[in-house]
């Protein structure tokens, strides 16, 4: 046999290789074939993730207080936080809300690059004691996360939230594209006429996905668009995407946020209340210690709607009936409750007052 000729073995090997390549090409082609050409139009099918209800897993008797107010001094942040949480669960304290091994997401408001004195961000000392309480209750991990308007590094540094988070051994999660996921907030396309804003939307999900409990810790602030920025508006920091478009119908989005998030607990930081020029503030004179109450306070609640209403009236001295998002959120939450969800959403705090579900503790 001359050098140029293929042996039978070589011929078989080459033939088999060619046939295999042709087969792979054909199989691949048919496998990936889009006969109708509509693949580009199909809805993304990536897991229709939804947010959990973080309140559902705790045992909360219907007759217990739902708003607990602690009033004291600036030097008594620890006692304020303990008393506020303790008021909701006199025997268990924080242990009712956080169990051993829980992963707790604590969500402060770090929206702007402001020092703590400016009242535009959560008081870091309040946050410190919330984290400590969670750890005392045996939380396995405490995560602190927010998606600020300005650069996250700067906001977390300037507001001292990063310092407190590091000192207390909590995990700080700064927003980055990898942490966001498109979640189904509402099955239907949002209809502005029905005062809806969110359908499917990118959410700062990775901390929420890990968490078994969520605690919102937001300051009480004036807000030029929606009147007041408190606990429900705080969840705005969980939104990604082009969220600035929502401001055209701000009450729709804030009430949708109230519907979207069912936190384990909210803790209102009314130590430094931003009375005007909100939500950014910028001058010491915009801030009033303790707001209209006159004394630094911390409010804990399992009903963020009623809590916002109470805080609006008592700290900002404004009529909560003018905050349209409270009524809207209450309606949206009522629809969830009718569908079997376990949560509270009472727009008028006086209802709770009549039922004796508001407790006040002096520290």
Least Å distance, CB 247 to another protein, is 4
Sort 42 into a burial class: Cβ within 10 Å, 0-12 / 13-18 / 19+. exposed
Least Å distance, CB 287 to another protein, is 9
Least Å distance, CB 280 to another protein, is 5
In angstroms, the CA 167 to CA 161 distance is 10
Least Å distance, CB 317 to another protein, is 19
Query: Does residue 277 bind another protein (CB under 8 A)?
Result: yes
Total of residues contacting another protein (CB under 8 A): 41
Among 9, 42, 43, 283, binds another protein (CB under 8 A): 283
DSSP letter (8 states) at residue 193: G
Torsion sign across C-alpha atoms 130, 55, 355, 63? negative
Query: Does residue 157 bind another protein (CB under 8 A)?
Result: yes
SS3 34: coil
Give the CA diameter of the chain. 106
Residue 44: φ, ψ to 5°:
-60, 135
Query: Does residue 288 bind another protein (CB under 8 A)?
Result: no
Query: Does residue 196 bind another protein (CB under 8 A)?
Result: no
Which whole-number Å values give the CA distances from 196 to 50, 106, 115, 258, 336, in the listed order? 17, 27, 34, 12, 14
DSSP letter (8 states) at residue 161: H
Query: Does residue 281 bind another protein (CB under 8 A)?
Result: yes
The H-or-E segment that residue 301 falls in is strand 297-301
Pick 25 or 154: Cβ nearer another protein: 154
Compute the C-alpha angle 259/189/322, nearest 5°.
40
Query: Does residue 194 bind another protein (CB under 8 A)?
Result: no
Q: Which stretch binds another protein (CB under 8 A): 31-39, 176-184, 301-309, 335-343?
A: 176-184
Q: List the helix and strand counts (H, then E) for the chain.
A: 11, 12
State the residue for tokens 């956080």. 98
Among 255, 262, 280, 361, binds another protein (CB under 8 A): 280
Least Å distance, CB 298 to another protein, is 22
Least Å distance, CB 347 to another protein, is 14
Pick 135 or 223: Cβ nearer another protein: 223
Least Å distance, CB 363 to another protein, is 25
- Fill in the per-residue mask, 98 to 127: x = in contact with another protein (CB under 8 A), - = not in contact: --------------xxxxxxx---------
Sort 205 into a burial class: Cβ within 10 Å, 0-12 / 13-18 / 19+. middle
Contacts of 27 (CB under 8 A, 6+ apart): none
Among 18, 24, 245, 355, binds another protein (CB under 8 A): 245
Pick 65 or 148: Cβ nearer another protein: 148
Pick 64 or 150: Cβ nearer another protein: 150
Q: Are 301 and 66 in contact (CB under 8 A)?
A: yes
Among 172, 209, 324, 341, binds another protein (CB under 8 A): 324
Query: Does residue 140 bind another protein (CB under 8 A)?
Result: no
Q: Footprint of another protein on this chain (CB under 8 A)?
A: 112-118, 149-154, 157-158, 174-178, 223-225, 242, 244-245, 247-251, 277, 279-284, 286, 322, 324
């Amino acid at each position: 046999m001359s050098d140029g000729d293929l042996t039978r073995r070589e011929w078989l090997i080459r033939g088999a290789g060619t046939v295999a390549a042709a087969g792979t090409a054909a199989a691949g082609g048919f496998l990936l074939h889009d006969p109708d050409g509509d693949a580009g139009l199909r809805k993304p099918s990536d897991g229709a993730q939804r947010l959990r209800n973080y309140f559902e897993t705790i045992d909360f008797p219907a007759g217990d207080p739902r708003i607990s107010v602690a009033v004291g001094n600036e030097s008594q942040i620890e006692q304020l936080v303990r008393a506020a949480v303790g008021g909701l669960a006199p025997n268990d304290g924080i242990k009712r809300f956080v169990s051993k091994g829980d992963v707790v997401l604590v969500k402060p408001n770090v929206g702007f690059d402001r020092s703590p004195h400016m009242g535009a961000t959560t008081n870091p000392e309040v946050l410190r004691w919330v984290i400590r309480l969670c750890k005392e209750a045996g939380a396995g991990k405490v995560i602190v996360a927010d998606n600020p308007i300005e650069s996250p590094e700067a906001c977390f540094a300037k507001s001292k939230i990063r310092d407190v988070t590091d000192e207390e051994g909590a995990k700080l999660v700064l927003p980055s594209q990898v942490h966001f996921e498109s979640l189904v907030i509402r099955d239907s396309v949002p209809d502005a006429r029905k005062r809806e804003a969110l359908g499917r939307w990118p959410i700062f999900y990775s901390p929420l996905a890990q968490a078994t409990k969520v605690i919102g810790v937001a300051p009480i602030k004036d807000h030029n668009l929606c009147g007041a920025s408190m606990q429900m508006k705080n969840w705005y920091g969980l939104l990604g995407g082009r969220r600035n478009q929502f401001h055209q119908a701000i009450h729709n989005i804030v009430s949708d946020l109230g519907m979207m998030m069912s936190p384990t607990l909210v803790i209102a930081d009314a130590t430094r209340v931003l009375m005007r020029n909100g939500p950014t503030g910028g001058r010491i004179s915009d801030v009033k210690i303790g707001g209209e109450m006159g004394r630094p306070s911390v409010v804990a609640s399992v009903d963020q709607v009623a809590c916002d209403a109470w805080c609006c009236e008592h700290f900002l001295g404004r009529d909560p009936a003018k905050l349209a998002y409270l009524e809207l959120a209450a309606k949206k939450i009522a629809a969830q409750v009718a569908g079997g969800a376990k949560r509270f959403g009472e727009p008028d705090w006086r209802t709770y007052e009549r039922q004796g579900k508001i407790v006040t503790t002096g520290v």
